[in-house]
Structure 1
Amino acid sequence: MMCPGGPERRVPRRSRVMTTAPDSVQASPDASATSPTVPRDVRRWRFSAISLIPSLLALAGLLLFLYPSVSAWIVQYNQSQIISHYADSVRDADPSAQEQLSLAHRYNDALSSGAVLQANSNVPTGDGTSGDASLDYNTILSVDSSGLMGRLKVPAADIDLPIYHGTDDETLLRGLGHLEGTSLPVGGLSQRSVVTGHRGLAEARMFTDLDKVQVGDTFTFEVFGEVLTYRVFDKKVVEPDETEALRSEPGRDLATLVTCTPLGINTHRILITGERVYPTPQRDIDAAGATPDIPGFPWWAVGLLAGISLIGLYIWRSGYPPRPKKRPNTEQVREDSAD
């Protein structure tokens, strides 16, 4: 049936399809822009709380392991600074160095001989007394209020330490102690000076290596500008109550170094005794007042840095998730099974 006014017009089906095509084509770019694809194999770092506990335990173990070395190095460094400034302190001492040396010789001449190693004690105790009441032990050979008296060098044991008055516990934690009741270390015939020190302390070496000294080795005192060298002629281990070992001998200028043995048990005493060398070797005179060579390079710092670096590397590595295992290619598996 014909419409009035002309024949009926039909729209081709192809044109109807094309009218909707541009819309669908335009939509695809927008969809891809809003949802970018992320590769599945990308691993992002995140702090792993689980790694914190083993890291802290490792750090604590490292610090405990290095503590003796670090503490000993710090103590030796402080002692080397004290020794380095000792010569300046002597120059500024009041009374002067010559006056104090003269007082020290007077003290030794007035001293009644004798020193004992008190039983069940870590340090010896002197029983000598001065016959001159005007001579105060603590004010003779004293550069300052700390009681610093001098310096002892024992090359064979790598010892270079300050000497203080007395042998109380506080003094022996700072350095070596001169045994009150024995001769002051200024030399002289029929005199014996005794210097003591701890051995086996975790935080300081002190006299730990004194047992390395052998007969024929030397040790040197530097006291108020005087340099006195002694050559070791006797090395012995004695009971704590053996008193004769520390008494002066007529006509001999002696010095004895004392420490405890065995390490950590302290039931006996090591005595290293030397006799004065005349004249004093020129090498010892030339080396007087020199800056100590100890404590040397802090190798413990290298170990500390390496340990901390490894711990940091462990924490960093723990922040990445493990790589997923690769799944086998199903097509490849089928081809292999078909073959």
Structure 2
Amino acid sequence: MKPSQFAKGFKARPDSTSSEKRTALDRLNAIDGIVDLQHVGQAANGRSSAFVADEPSDIATGVESEEYRTWRRANRYTTGQVIELPLKSIKTSPFNPRHFYLKSSIAELAVNLAKQGQQQAIHVIPDYENPGTFFVSDGGRRVRALKEANKETVKAVVVDLPIGIQSYKLGYDLNVQRDSQTVFDNAVVWRRFLDEEHFQSQRELADHLGLDESTIAVALSIAKLPENVMHEMVARPDRFGSNMAYQIARYHAARGSDSTLRLINKITSDDLSTRQVADIVKGRASAQDTPKTPSRQRYAQRLDIKLDGVSVGDLKSYGEDRLELRLRGLSRERRDELLHQIESMLQAVEKKK
């Protein structure tokens, strides 16, 4: 890999402490707070966002990097200001934690953006070595959807964030908070980090990310799967977590892609458990005649449930009198909000009787 500014983040640098990560996240939150206030002010005054010469608030940025300060002053930019940038000037970061983007999800978002416009600005980092271009820090889905919708510009906030592994780790932390990071993203990206010798070993990678080495090892085993096989599982993160994907990787190593794709279809259609799949991998059962758990009834209908474009579970109907709702990966606030809404709906149904 050709040396660049991005490789600097990998050169024998100690792992960021939790406080450093928190500072970066707080900086983004502070910038978003400024953006919200600016939107209110612009709505009241009828003004649009533009480059301006005002100095930024130290509350939002803390201590600026020299590169960012030079860029900001040269471009007369106020920290936190929402500006319009040409889509062609936006580039994917080589340290983007996401690798897989569902075409159906991008298409759905593109339709929404075409109707309502872009409501939330993306975050970008200037490419200081190539003036006029930017790397996406947060908002990769929106950029893809805007291109799908044939838009030419994107609303963006230019942020002062580190490049390299720190940029990756910040994006990774944000995605984990949103439940949008998958084991398949990790598998592909971590494998590439090692192949390009950004890290010399699994242990070094685990130390930098603050993860257990066994987590890295499982992901690297999954990384051996072809991407077309991974794509069949990416859309169902509730069904294909790291344990299930690991078993499928073992099965693929022995049986190949065609048999593995048939197994994935059977897991989905017959709702096989990880233990049942492990028995198939070990040869204790056949992928063709694996019995279902006796107590498990085949559902009649299944509705995939998405929140913010991400699959979080499903609603299944059984027979004539049973519904089963399964949701995973929700924040406590979102969970409690949904629970309250369900309780209110049931109370309303009860009052109608």
* Same fold by TM-score greater than 0.5: no
Q: TM-score, normalised by structure 1?
A: 0.25
Normalized per residue, the structure richer in strand is 1
Please report the TM-score for the alignment, with normalisation by the length of structure 2.
0.24
